Amino acid sequence: MIHAAEELAPDGVEIHIFDIDDIPLYNQDEDTPDEPESVAHLREAIRDADALLLSTPEYNYSLPGVLKNAIDWASRPPGNAPLTGKPVAIMGAATGMSGTMRAQLAWRPVFLFTDSPMVGKPEVYVAQAGQKFDREGRLTDETARTLIRQLLENLVKLARETNAKGDRSLATTGIGAVSRDGDGPKGLTADAPTEETAASRH
């Protein structure tokens, strides 16, 4: 779905992929100023962004552990976490009928804790995902594509409202976030084996 977001992003928005394969399991004993290099890069990418776009699968009626692990790292250190106050939007696809509805509900308390304002609508649940993508992995369902476009537009709007500083223009980048640079949004995304995220940078 991140690749669909790349295609459907508003004018000036550019979404990049951030690989979270090398993020270690969260261990508070290792969460020191001498943090793992991959974690430092993750935190920097989100800190520099104006918003976060999260694309999630659903495992066992809930959120995926690999993606949650990356967000756990980004939710720290207390008082200076990259996610604190970061605007967030969530979307997801699953082969079942709920289309990640339960996973997305499970994500919301996480971002409530990080004090991250969230895009409420539209809700992007792509159900029976095996029928919605072609052999190259391109999202073909027009309803889902329309909803993703609206979600991105609303995320950019929320990021502008949340992060507005003077006359600086907004830029977006994707583990799913939005940032300021140049004339408009551009993006940064984080990608896991079956989990994807998107973000924006300054």
pTM for the structure as a whole: 0.80
Tell me what the mean pLDDT of segment 99-106 comes to.
94
Nearest of 127, 163, 159 to residue 144 by alpha carbon: 127
Nearest of 101, 59, 66 to residue 193 by alpha carbon: 66
pLDDT at 24 > cutoff 80: yes
Buried b (16+ CB within 10 A) or exposed e, 24-51: eebeeeeeeeebbebbebbbebbbbbbb
pLDDT tens-digit series, residues 49-96: 888 899 999 999 999 999 999 999 999 998 889 999 999 999 999 888
Identify the pLDDT of residue 164. Answer: 61
Identify the pLDDT of residue 181. Answer: 38
Domains of the chain: 2-199 (3.40.50.360)
The C-alpha angle 130, 94, 3, rounded to 5 degrees, equals 75
Tell me what the mean pLDDT of segment 155-180 comes to.
58
The pair of structure tokens assigned to 130 is: 């095996």
pLDDT at 185 > cutoff 90: no
**Which pLDDT band, with edges at 50, 70 and 90, does 33 fall under?**
confident
The pair of structure tokens assigned to 93 is: 């696809």
Residues 35 and 74: beta-carbon distance below 8 Å? no
Distance CA 69, CA 147 (A): 27
Q: What three-state secondary structure class fits 17?
A: strand
> Which residues, listed in sequence order, are joined to residue 18 by a DSSP beta bridge?
190
